[in-house]
Amino acid sequence: MRIRHDELTEWTKSSYSAVNGDCVEIKTASRGAVAVRDSKAPDCGTLGFTEGTWSAFILDVGRSTQRRA
């Protein structure tokens, strides 16, 4: 899976958001970086990841989910 980081110009909520909208949001923070924040507390700061680190994390989570299914 290739994540199109250049298309994350606005905060995008996870597709796994709960019915009440509580989840994480991501967007491109700067060239080569992805920002992640809590949608319930958007003013409480963000975590920053390189594109490669974020992509590796998402791929690993996907593999973990597939093993449980």
Q: Give residue 5's pLDDT.
A: 54
Q: What is the pLDDT of residues 5-46, one digit of tens each?
A: 556 678 888 776 666 667 888 888 777 788 899 888 888 988
Tell me the domain boundaries of the chain: 5-68
Per the structure block, which two tokens stand in for 19? 């019915």
Q: Give residue 23's pLDDT.
A: 85
| Whole-number Å distance between alpha carbons of 14 and 39 | 10
To the question of pTM greater than 0.75 for the whole model, the response is: no
Contact 48, 33 (CB under 8 A): yes
Contact 47, 29 (CB under 8 A): no
pLDDT at 1 over 50: no
